[in-house]
Amino acid sequence: MHNKNYHIKLIEVIRWILSIAILIHAAGLFATVFEMRQTQFGNYLFMVMGMPHGDALFYERITVSAFLFLCLVNLFHTRMYTLLPIAAYILFEAWAGYYQAAYRYSEFTLYAHVMRYMTPVVLVVLCTVPFRKILSEKARLLSVEWLLRISLAVLFFIHGLEAWLGHPVFADLIIGSANNLAGVRITESMAVQIMKGIGILDLIVVLGLLFKPLQGVLFWALFWGALTAFSRITAIGSTAYIEVLLRASHILAPFALWAIMYQPAWIVQAVPIQSLVSRGKKHQLST
């Protein structure tokens, strides 16, 4: 059994892991806008609200720049007033994609993006008042554990469903990656059969996350999150790096969940964060 000091340090580690995931996501949105691509927010301003393209781009750049600034502030100063606007903007991005229905299976967008907007919500429970005052460190870690388990389960379920249904984007990723990495030509029908297997495997992961998240399940979730994110680059090329950045939480959330559930001693002994951990501990004890 770990003592209170250990739990305080572990909370600080998890805060850093998830805050970095949020900041990487923000960097992806920032790169999207300033490489003259449009976010769902920008598309909504232009296509739904009928705003002139120049005006939509201007407000999109201002909003995304403010979002990136908030995420950077949150890295060092995690508070309710930084996290709620962050969560709200990411949720709006997901909702705008669902509402505009401009791509296949857009009706699943709110579920497919669940880990992106739930990451700041997890930090609200873990680090901010009133939760910090009414719940012990152990209780907050347990609450966050279940939030992460459920969010990841929803993510794997919906991606597994999309794979089972033969999402054309997933097929393109399989075909493109196989050809670029190994010079292997995979037909569309073969890709569909591979996706059926992926759908079944994702369902197994869902059951593992909800009922018995063994270390192997969590490591697979981390590996699969990284593999599917980087498959954008292996299939399309380096220009798809933004798609990897936007999926940072798919990689770091399983790692955070593993740290919470298995609490390895070495993870709170990371030298670069010791002074920050000490400051975080003093702050908690003084409030």
Poorest-pLDDT segment among 29-33, 105-109, 128-132, 262-266: 262-266
Over pLDDT 90: what percentage of the chain? Answer: 86
CB atoms within 10 A of CB 250: 24
pLDDT tens by residue, 54-93: 999 999 999 999 999 999 999 999 999 999 999 999 999 9
Q: Yes or no: say if 60 and 117 are a contact pair by the CB < 8 Å rule.
A: no
Distance CA 151, CA 130 (A): 22
Six-digit token string for 14: 């998890």
Question: What would the mean pLDDT of 197-224 be, rounded to a whole number?
Answer: 97
Give the confidence band of 216 by pLDDT, cuts at 50, 70, 90.
very high
Distance CA 128, CA 135 (A): 11
Distance CA 49, CA 180 (A): 40
pLDDT tens by residue, 140-194: 999 999 999 999 999 999 999 999 999 999 999 999 999 999 999 999 999 999 9
Six-digit token string for 74: 């949150």
Give the confidence band of 278 by pLDDT, cuts at 50, 70, 90.
very low
C-alpha distances (whole Å) from 189 to each of 21, 46, 193, 200 are 35, 37, 6, 17
Question: Which pLDDT does position 188 carry in this prediction?
Answer: 95
Question: Which pLDDT does position 249 carry in this prediction?
Answer: 98
Distance CA 123, CA 51 (A): 35
Q: Yes or no: say if 104 and 167 are a contact pair by the CB < 8 Å rule.
A: yes
3-state DSSP helix/strand/coil % of the chain, to nearest 5: 85, 0, 15
> What one-character DSSP code corresponds to residue 135?
S
pLDDT tens by residue, 221-245: 999 999 999 999 999 999 999 999 9
- Residue 119: pLDDT over 60: yes
Q: What are phi and psi of 79, to 5 degrees?
A: -140, 165
Distance CA 110, CA 113 (A): 5
Distance CA 70, CA 197 (A): 40
Six-digit token string for 67: 């979002």
Helix axes 248-262, 137-164, angle to 10 degrees: 140
Residue 107's closest CA among 70, 162, 173, 147? Answer: 162
- Residue 282: pLDDT over 70: no
Question: Which pLDDT does position 1 carry in this prediction?
Answer: 57
Q: How does the average pLDDT of the chain come out, rounded? A: 92
pLDDT tens by residue, 8-21: 989 999 999 999 99
Cis upstream peptide for 85 (omega within 30°): no
Question: Which pLDDT does position 270 carry in this prediction?
Answer: 62
Distance CA 217, CA 237 (A): 29
